[in-house]
Structures are given as C-alpha cells and as structure tokens.
Amino acid sequence: MHVLLHLDPLLLSRDFASHRIPVFIQIALSLLHQKHKVFVYASKEFKSIFETNVSQAIFLEANNEILQNNLNHDLNNAIIYVNQLNYQIENLIISDILSKDLNPDFLISIGPTTILRKIWPNKLFLHYELGIFNRPPFPVHHQFDPGGYYHKSILSKYPNLNKSMDLKSLAKMDNLKNHWLNKLNLTNSVLGKLDCIYAPLPSFKNWTVRTEISYINRYEYLKVISEKYYDKQIICNEKPQDPLTSHERTQISKLKNVKFIENKDIYGIGNLLVMHSKTTYTFSPSLSLQVLFWGNNLLSHIDSSMYAWAIHPQAREQLAGYFEIFNIQNFAEIDKRIDIWNSFNPYL
C-alpha cells in the first residue's frame, strides 16, 4: 500500500514537532518494514531529520508559500484553520498536494483533514493522537482515529454507535487496570476515594482547547464549574508548562469551594488525581477515558466532544471496545488494524 504521513505545515510548530516528529519517524520505519511505500508531506525544516532517519521514505516538501501566507503558528490562525481557512491558503494547499501526483491508499495526519478530503473524499484518514495513557508512570499508547478530529472523530461518536458489549475486551481492560495498580503499589480501594470533583485547568496556549470550549480564561472556566457544583469540593491544578499568573491565583482563591493543588511534577499529577477523585470534570479526550478506565465518574461540558461518554450509562463497557480497537503500543499493529479501522470510516 501507499501511505501518506501528512505533517500539516500550518500546525507543526517547533514545540508540537518535538512530540510528533519522533513518533512519525517510528511509524514510517514500521510501515516500511511491513513493505508499504511511505510518503511524508511536511515543511522543509523537517526534511533532513526524515532523510537521515528514514531514508527509504519519500519526502515531499510543502510549498513555502503556504507558510508565508500564514506565518504565525498561533491560536487565532489555528482556530481559523479548524473552522474556515482562508481560501487563498486553502487553494494553495490543494494545488501543492495535487502537484505531488499522489494516490495514497490511506493517510495518517496530525490535524484536521477537511482540505485533504476535498482531494480524496473517501480515503481512510487516520488522525493520530497520543492515546488514553500517554505519560509516566504508565506506558504510552497511540491512538488512530478513522473519523477525524474532535467532534468529527469516531472517539466522540463511539458511545452512540451502540456496539455490543465485548466481555473479552472488558476482562482484558480490568486485568490491565489491576496490573498497573500493582505496579504503583496501590489497590482498588484508592479509586474514587476522594469525594470531590477534580477539574484540571486547561492551557489556553493550546489552540485545541479553544476549539472545544468558549471560556475566555481559566478563572471563568473554573468559576462556571464552581457555581454549578456549589455543594461539592472542587480540586484543580495547573499545567507545569503553563503556570497560573498571580492575578489568576488571586481570582481562583476567591472561589470558596475550590482548592488549588500545586503542581511541581514535570509530568503533571492529572493521571493520579483522576484515579483518586470520585469525579473528574474535563473535556480532554485522554483524561476523560482515563477516568472511565479506572471506573470513576466523568463530567464534561455539553459542547465537548467527550459529552457522549460522560452521559452514557455503560461508558466503561464501551471504552473497553474502543480501547481494544483504536489504541496500540506497537506500530507493527497498524498493518493488522487497517481493515477494521476502515470499517469505521464514515466517508466511505
């Protein structure tokens, strides 16, 4: 098969690239080992790293005019990109990709695929994200979604597909849960032990946050939760890489039922807090699924792509099926999953 790895030049900022490029190099190497022909579409600055590490892959350099027409990898440009991209840039991207004379069997992308679907409306587009577990102390899982991005994703729609309960997958997930608890020297008794709502504060530097919710800042986001669940103790923490300002701390301290927890761990403490807290309020896909994995309660905003999971009466049972199908650790699994992932392709 011919596979296109689409590393969108409009989205791949240097910070984002530091997390994604090493992964896509491993994906490319695995696909080549499985005898696929691999094409990589990205901006010129990533050409040397791919040619050095994946010499058999064919690197397709994105037209530099695309970036010149959209110079800032910032929040506003990203929101425009998701909702309505400037027609000049859109036509430039389409023209550039068409000039490469490609006909891939399937694509793996890091962002929205709206423009690419105008070229290949029925192809299998796998949106790559770090999966349900993606940082220490847990082993990393990789998620490939054949629907696309956030609200268009199979992830957001899966609970409503009403798939029959897979008892084998559920038992497998339970065994994995117990295995990881043992690794952490914990028991099931700690799960949901804290009778509170954990509400992690999102980073508003992350443009995906602003495509999911409409709050203007972290205080306003937390204030709404605090008022809605006024009779509950709410705990929150900041992302270490995006600390609260002194003004934000002062504002949050005025919310009577909110307790702020300092976060000094470079990896964050969210993975552990979702285990211990009875309830978590979040729109983060990976964190939401972790809540359900541990058997705790999930709350999410009605406009969030995770809302269907939050209100489903058998969300954890549905998660067992989703986790089994779309989360992998070994990229060699991609080859074995193509047919089943394609069966979920909503654009066929």
Tokens 């489903």, residue located? 312
Distance CA 334, CA 29 (A): 12
pLDDT band at 88 (very low <50, low <70, confident <90, very high): confident
Cα–Cα distances in Å, from 64 out to 43, 71, 78, 192, 308? 7, 10, 18, 51, 40
Which structural domains are found in the chain, ordered by start? 2-158+328-342 (3.40.50), 166-325 (3.40.50)
User: What's the pLDDT score for residue 120?
Assistant: 95
Average the pLDDT over 70-86 and give the result: 48
Find out whether 162 and 154 touch, Cβ atoms under 8 Å.
no
User: What's the pLDDT score for residue 272?
Assistant: 87
Average the pLDDT over 113-141 and give the result: 88
Residues 243-266 pLDDT 10s: 888 999 999 999 999 999 887 665
User: What's the pLDDT score for residue 81?
Assistant: 47
Relative to beta strand 124-130, strand 142-145 is: antiparallel
User: What's the pLDDT score for residue 87?
Assistant: 72
Mean confidence (pLDDT) of the chain = 88
> Higher pLDDT residue, 309 or 43?
309
Within 10 angstroms of residue 75's Cβ, the number of other Cβ atoms is: 16
CA atoms within a 13 Å half-sphere pointing along the CA-CB vector of 12: 23
> Percentage of residues in the chain with pLDDT exceeding 90?
62
> Higher pLDDT residue, 157 or 16?
157
Q: Which of 287, 325, 283, 331 is nearest to 307 (CA)?
A: 283
Residue 77 pLDDT > 60: no
Distance CA 331, CA 80 (A): 32
Q: Which of 204, 280, 215, 277 is nearest to 243 (CA)?
A: 204
Encoded tokens for 172? 């497998």
With a CB cutoff of 8 Å and minimum separation 6, the contacts of 301 are: 212, 213, 283, 307
Q: Which of 302, 304, 303, 264 is nearest to 287 (CA)?
A: 304
Alpha helices of 153-217 — where are they, by DSSP H? 154-157, 167-183, 207-212
pTM for this entry:
0.89
Average the pLDDT over 270-295 and give the result: 93
Residues 163-202 pLDDT 10s: 888 889 999 999 999 999 999 899 999 999 999 999 998 8
Cα–Cα distances in Å, from 208 out to 276, 284, 305, 312, 337? 27, 10, 12, 24, 27
> Higher pLDDT residue, 136 or 295?
295
pLDDT band at 76 (very low <50, low <70, confident <90, very high): very low
- Terminal alpha carbon distance of the chain: 18
Minimum mean pLDDT range among 222-226, 235-239, 298-302, 328-332: 235-239
pLDDT band at 282 (very low <50, low <70, confident <90, very high): very high
Residue 138 pLDDT > 50: yes
Residue 73 pLDDT > 60: no
Q: For 302, phi and psi rounded to 5 degrees?
A: -60, -25
User: What's the pLDDT score for residue 72?
Assistant: 47
User: What's the pLDDT score for residue 13?
Assistant: 64
Average the pLDDT over 42-50 and give the result: 92
Distance CA 309, CA 289 (A): 8
DSSP character at residue 146: S
Minimum mean pLDDT range among 28-32, 78-82, 131-135: 78-82
C-alpha dihedral, 269 to 272 to 273 to 275, nearest 10°: 170
